[in-house]
Amino acid sequence: MQLLEGKKAAIFGVANERSIAWAIAEAFHSEGAELAFTYAGEVLEKRVRPLAESVGSKIILPCDVTKDEEVEKVFADLRETWGGLDILIHAIAFANKEDLANPYVQTSRAGFHLAMDVSAYSLIALAQRAAPLMEGRGGAMVTLTYMGSERVVPNYNVMGVAKAALEASVRYLAHDLGPKGIRVNAISAGPIRTLAAAGISDFKAMLHHVAERAPLKRNIDAEEVGKTALYLCSDWGSAVTGEVLHVDAGYNIMGM
Per-residue pLDDT reduced to its tens digit, 59-91: 999 999 999 999 999 999 999 999 999 999 999
The answer to whether the CB of 55 falls within 8 A of the CB of 28 is no
Question: In which band, very low, low, confident or very high, does the pLDDT at 97 lie, cut at 50, 70 and 90?
Answer: very high
The residue annotated as part of the active site, out of 39, 104, 146, 172, is 146
The residue annotated as part of the active site, out of 156, 172, 231, 251, is 156
Verify whether residue 146 is a known catalytic residue.
Answer: yes
Mean of the per-residue pLDDT values of the chain: 95
The answer to whether the CB of 37 falls within 8 A of the CB of 60 is yes
Distance of alpha carbon 190 from the chain centroid: 13
C-alpha 176/C-alpha 194 separation (Å) is: 32
Verify whether residue 156 is a known catalytic residue.
Answer: yes
Question: In which band, very low, low, confident or very high, does the pLDDT at 126 lie, cut at 50, 70 and 90?
Answer: very high
Q: What is the pTM of this model?
A: 0.95
What are 192-232's pLDDT values in tens digits? 876 565 556 667 888 999 999 999 999 999 999 999 999 99
Among 214, 222, 94, 17, which residue's Cα sits nearest to residue 206? 214
Please, what are the domains in the chain?
Answer: 8-248 (3.40.50.720)
pLDDT at 204: 82
